Amino acid sequence: MDGTLDPATAGTAGPTTGPVEESPEEYAALEACERGDTSLLGALLASQEPRLRRIALARLDPRVAGRVGPDDVIQEAFLDVTRRMDEYLTLRRGAAERRLPFFLWVRLMTQQVIARLHREHLGSLKRDAGRE
């Protein structure tokens, strides 16, 4: 394997350890991460980027999108994923009914970043009870 992942096959059927389907590239990258080798993690995340970009474009509030773009969202989400990768690997090793496909977990991290950015940038627009 050359270290690149094909976005067209990311999240499709491949080797699996239960109901979670992974492409062969995803499976290999996640197995490497399980062994402590994170060299394929960047390629794994890059393979998810096009779908995450569409999510960020669709979910970013227009009032926030003027200050923060999809690239910012994805960058923060990837940082969160990198910091919390051990959590995902623990979940992946867990009971089959609790397993979550990698993309769904990364999508969750991305949605959490978007929610956090909305709170940070729109928090000042909340109704001030003191003015009423």
pLDDT at 128: 45
pLDDT band at 124 (very low <50, low <70, confident <90, very high): low
pLDDT band at 4 (very low <50, low <70, confident <90, very high): low
The 3-class SS string of the chain reads CCCCCCCCCCCCCCCCCCCCCCCHHHHHHHHHHHCCCCCCHHHHHHHHHHHHHHHHHHHCCHHHHCCCCHHHHHHHHHHHHHHCHHHHHHHHHCCHHHCCCHHHHHHHHHHHHHHHHHHHHHHHHCCCHHHC
- Whether the per-residue pLDDT at 36 is higher than 50: the answer is yes
- Whether the per-residue pLDDT at 94 is higher than 90: the answer is no
Q: Is the pTM of this model over 0.85?
A: no
